[in-house]
Amino acid sequence: MSESRLWLKQRLAEGSTAWFAGAQDALSALLVDQSAFDGVFTTGFGISASLLGQPDMELYTLSENLGVVDRIANVVRKPIFADADTGYGNVLNTQRTVRAFEKAGVAALSIEDQVSPKRCPAAATSSVTLSLADAVAKIHAAVDARRDPNLMIVARTDVMDPQEALDRTARYAEAGADLIQPISRTFSTYDDLVRLRRICGRPLSLQLMEGTWMATLSRPQIEAVAGMATYPIVGLLSVVHALRANLAALADRCGQPMGELPCPRATMNEFKQLIGWHELEKQQERLELGDASRRAH
């Protein structure tokens, strides 16, 4: 994964924007990897829902999050941007978190300044943030922990006051953060993002959530301020909508011909191609025939 880290760092150095789509498990990550997106974002919101069937309130542990990310890294080739939540504790926990995700092969990871356990600001009505000193110390710790300088550290602030967010992110940049990630509820205009980009002196990482004003920005606007732009949960919500609709329709016709369902499905052959079935069959045959040949001799 060192190549994907270098690719992402070089892209950011050129002033370009890398576009990511969210994935909550290895299968959704494989779909992103085979799409036109530049990379895979491992959404904590989606991982909590997929792994536990529970909301993103940091109920899952570092080990559980890392397990999903490790399985994703095993099947994708594109850069992985990992949601590392709050770093799962204090500065020492944050360092362990960074080293664990770096070892898994991610190209970038985000650390946010909420207290632990956090609550996802996309769903929660309010959140509690660390003191400025503690939050800056976490970014220092994250930067100090990485062994590969190409690993991108994204510092996210969840404070609601715009001026406080500007002050904090400037300090996070001074602490060594490579990108700054605001939340949509803190600012309200594109000009706010331009000002944030200028004050912190770092490219932004934008999370484009449906229903928020950031998601209405044009591509030129996004690429003028952001080094990384992400659609974190479109995949997750698409799966929920399609599966719910098809299950409801199927339940109404149990014991009858399946017929058409509200949402189209992939064919079995399409799925086998996606999952790499034929390649593994060939590999198994080659290995077994080779073993039989060796036994014969």
In a domain, 243, yes or no: no
Are residues 46 and 168 both part of a single domain? yes
Are residues 138 and 273 both part of a single domain? no
Q: Which of 92-96, 275-279, 287-291 has the lowest mean pLDDT?
A: 287-291
**Mean pLDDT, rounded, for 109-137:** 85
Compute φ and ψ for 42, nearest 5 degrees.
-90, 95
Residue with tokens 């990485």: 146
Please give the Cα distance from 9 to 14 (Å, whole number).
Answer: 9
In a domain, 85, yes or no: yes
In a domain, 237, yes or no: no
Query: pLDDT (tens digit, 9 = 90+) per residue, 189-238?
Result: 999 999 999 999 999 999 999 999 999 999 999 999 999 999 999 999 99
Which pair of structure tokens corresponds to residue 91?
């500065």
CB 207 within 8 A of CB 234: no
- Predicted confidence at residue 2, as pLDDT, reads 78
pLDDT value at 292 more than 90: no
Are residues 53 and 136 both part of a single domain? yes
Q: Which of 48-57, 119-128, 178-187 has the lowest mean pLDDT?
A: 119-128
- Of 232, 256, 276, the one marking the end of a domain is 232
Q: What percent of the chain has pLDDT over 90?
A: 88
The DSSP code sequence of 156-217 is: E---S-HHHHHHHHHHHHHTT-SEEE--TTT--SHHHHHHHHHHH-S-EEEE--TTSGGGGS
- Predicted confidence at residue 296, as pLDDT, reads 62
Task: Quote the number of domains for the chain.
Answer: 2
pLDDT value at 165 more than 90: yes
pLDDT confidence band for 258 (50 / 70 / 90) = confident
Are residues 90 and 193 both part of a single domain? yes
- Of 232, 258, 282, the one marking the end of a domain is 232
CA 3 to chain centre: 18
The DSSP code sequence of 243-266 is: HHHHHHHHHTTTTS-----SS---
Are residues 172 and 289 both part of a single domain? no
**Mean pLDDT, rounded, for 167-180:** 98
Compute φ and ψ for 98, nearest 5 degrees.
-60, -45
Are residues 74 and 149 both part of a single domain? yes
Are residues 41 and 124 both part of a single domain? yes
- Of 217, 232, 247, the one marking the end of a domain is 232
Are residues 38 and 108 both part of a single domain? yes
Compute φ and ψ for 114, nearest 5 degrees.
-75, 160
pLDDT value at 116 more than 90: no
Of 257, 237, 258, 236, nearest to 247 (Cα)? 258
* Domain span at 144: 2-232
Are residues 270 and 226 both part of a single domain? no
Which three-class secondary structure string do you get for 33-63? HCCCCCEEEECHHHHHHHHHCCCCCCCCCHH
Query: pLDDT (tens digit, 9 = 90+) per residue, 130-150?
Result: 999 999 999 999 999 999 999
pLDDT confidence band for 123 (50 / 70 / 90) = low
**Mean pLDDT, rounded, for 277-297:** 81
pLDDT value at 46 more than 80: yes
Q: Which residues are catalytic?
A: 120
- Predicted confidence at residue 152, as pLDDT, reads 98
Are residues 101 and 6 both part of a single domain? yes
CB 115 within 8 A of CB 86: yes
Please give the Cα distance from 84 to 55 (Å, whole number).
Answer: 16
In a domain, 254, yes or no: no
Are residues 182 and 84 both part of a single domain? yes
